[in-house]
Structure formats: C-alpha cells, structure tokens
Structure 1
Amino acid sequence: MDDWTLRESVTEYETPWYTGGYDRLEQPDGSEKNYYWASLPDAVVVVALDGDDVVMVSQYRPVIDAHCLELVAGIVEDESYEAAARRELREETGYDADTVTLLQEFAVATGVLRHNRGIVVAEGLSESMEGRELDNNEFIEVERVPREDALARARAEQPANDATLEGLLLAAADGYL
C-alpha cells in the first residue's frame, strides 16, 4: 500500500444487505487512523433499449421516502455483469435481450464503500416467455421513455438516482442515446 500499513481489520456488523466495519491503518506519517467502510455485493445497472425507447422502472424507495424513475438494476449473484443484466431485465420488466454489452465496471463511493457496479446496455428486447419475477419487496412499474428524453428526465425528476444518471451518461457518451 505504499507507506500505508494495515494494523487491524474489524467487522462491526453484518446485515442481509451489507457488512460494515473499519480498517486501522498506519499512515505515511506514522500516525494511525480508523477508516470506516461498508461492503456491498456487486451490482449491475441496465440501459435497456427498445426501438426509440429506454425501458425504465418506477419504484418507491423507502430509505429516502420517494418514488424514483430508474434504470433496471440489481445485485450480481455469482454471475457476470452481462448475465446479471439479462436476469434483472427479465425479472423486473418481463423482457429478454438479444445482446448485452458491458460499458463499464467501476468502484462506487471509494471513500466509504467496497462496492463495484457494472453498466450494461441491453438491445433487441422481446417479451420473455417466463414473464416478470419480482422480489417480495419490489413493487415496480415499467415505463418507456423516449431515448432523446431519458437523460433529461433522469436529471429533472427528483430525487435523481446516481446509478441511473451514470448509466445514461455512459450510454450517451458511447453513442447509444
């Protein structure tokens, strides 16, 4: 770690969603400090493109007490980002994709989180033979948003969602929007 020495790593709590704790590090000047972290499983965000539309979801987020317009997203379950994107798209919207393309994998909020996120574009959508399979805490409405309006809608509708903004900005930068 280049002049940083890990003295102790402590897990203080575990939940079904994340683990939290701290690492005690000796810093380059010889002093020691606790650096707190939360560890979450990897997640995927899906920019689902169907013709001239982006397929998005609207759902209530109890943590912030608000409804959010978001891209399809979910936890990666011992699979690739692309496989997780296909699964989450089908479960949340009832669509299958002909192709999925990983645009970017990155670390999220590196000052406090141990969490990676992958942004995937899904194209060639068709209705799944299996249909939707929502989790028992998912009450999701599927919403189609014109491609040319998707980023503006995501920025304008409050609260804006970080993963949705990241996904749409990367998709726009790569020429998908």
Structure 2
Amino acid sequence: MTAHNGRRHESLPDPEWPVLDEVVEYDTPWFTGGYDLVEQPDGGEKKYYWAELATAVVVVAVTDGQVLFVEQYRPTVRQTQMELPAGIVEGGESFTTAAARELEEETGFVPDSTSLLQDFWCSTGLLRHRRGFVFAEGLEPGERQLDSNEFLTPRAVPVDEALDVARAAPTNDATVEGILLAHEEGLL
C-alpha cells in the first residue's frame, strides 16, 4: 500500500490479517482519513479506522549548554506551547536532513552534526504517522524561513531545565519524547 497523497514516504508492510477493502473517506492537505475492512483471525470482518499524517521529524538541538525550543500558539488546543522544532519530512529526505532544514527554518541555526535518536509509529491504534527524533549540535547562525502558517519564537532553555519545561502544561508529546530520548542516550 502506498501513501494516498504522497505525504507519507514509506509503504506499509504487507498485512498479517487480510485487508478486504481500503476506503478513503476524507482527504485534506494535512491528513487523509479512512478505514480498512479487515478479516480478523476469527473470520469476522471489522472496519479499522485510521488517519494518515505526514512523516515528521522532531529536533533536539543543543548549543552552549542550552536546548532550543520554539514557543508557538496551537489553534488545535487553543494554547501556546513550548515545543522542540519539528516539521514534515519531504520526499527523498532522511530524518537527519529534514531535521537540519527544519531547525534552520524555525530557529535560524544550522547544525554541523545530526544523529537519529529513534524513529517509530505514533498512536498506532488510530494513526498512520511515523516520527523521527534527531539530535543536533554544533549550531551556527543561519537564516530563518518560516512557513506562512508558522508564528513561533525560538527560546533557549538550560539543559538542566529542559525536561521541566517540556513537562510544563500545556505539554506536547513529541517534545517530552524527544527530551527523554536524548536524556536516555546521555546527550542531555
């Protein structure tokens, strides 16, 4: 199975349970929604609903003992959040290439090194969404280039405060995950 609109760049694996039908019910520039009609192991049939989101990257960027966050208002939850820089992985990009591009676009810093901490499927009970977490360091000034829907402010937070900032309400799952992964790897 391939992505419906080219936003997800990897194919889904062959199903273990037979997919009798795949139906797209909703298609927007941001996500696709639908269901698979699946034959279950007991022979019964069931619709498994899904929302497909673009493959994304989250960046844990460290410079001079500080982690770079971005502060932005999220209309979906109607609150301003402190988040890690993040964005969509474009076709043909690796997670690390996308991370360097997104970091410069959102914060104005270019990393001299990036490394993939982890990538995984998110909220697999409902979403078809893959997310990669990248550690970036050796930051040099670059040029911010915000998208037309991005209104954000870069904020530097001391490394020893990063987890507390990430966990402060309203929190963002990707930000907490990124900080915890980097901490577990001994990078923070």
Shift of residue 14, structure 1, vs aligned partner: 0.5
Shift of residue 127, structure 1, vs aligned partner: 0.4
Show the counterpart of 1:65.
78
The 5-angstrom pairing of residues 1-16 of structure 1 reads: 1-2=15-16, 4-16=17-29
Show the counterpart of 2:138.
124
Q: 2:68 corresponds to which letter in structure 1?
A: V
Deviations 1:25-55 (A, max 9, x none): 1111111110000111100000000011001
Q: 2:77 corresponds to which letter in structure 1?
A: I
2:97 maps to which of 66, 72, 83 = 83
Overall identity of the aligned pairs, in %: 55
**Partner SS state of residue 153, structure 2:** strand
Deviations 1:53-89 (A, max 9, x none): 0011000000000000000000001111011000000
1:97 maps to which of 111, 122, 141 = 111
For these two proteins, the number of residue pairs brought into alignment is: 173
Q: Provide the C-alpha distance between the structure 1 equivalents of 2:94 and 2:161, rounded to a whole number of angstroms.
A: 30
Report which of the two has the higher share of strand. 1
Show the counterpart of 1:36.
49
Q: Provide the C-alpha distance between the structure 2 equivalents of 1:137 and 1:5, rounded to a whole number of angstroms.
A: 40
Q: Provide the C-alpha distance between the structure 2 equivalents of 1:6 and 1:137, rounded to a whole number of angstroms.
A: 37
Q: 1:102 corresponds to which letter in structure 2?
A: L
Show the counterpart of 2:69.
56
Shift of residue 102, structure 1, vs aligned partner: 0.4
Q: 2:144 corresponds to which letter in structure 1?
A: R
TM-score (norm 1): 0.96
Pairwise CA RMSD: 0.8
Q: Provide the C-alpha distance between the structure 2 equivalents of 1:51 and 1:97, rounded to a whole number of angstroms.
A: 13
| 1:113 maps to 2:116 | no
Show the counterpart of 2:35.
22
Show the counterpart of 1:154.
166
Q: 1:105 corresponds to which letter in structure 2?
A: D
Q: Provide the C-alpha distance between the structure 1 equivalents of 2:109 and 2:44, rounded to a whole number of angstroms.
A: 54
Runs of 4+ that moved beyond 6 A: none
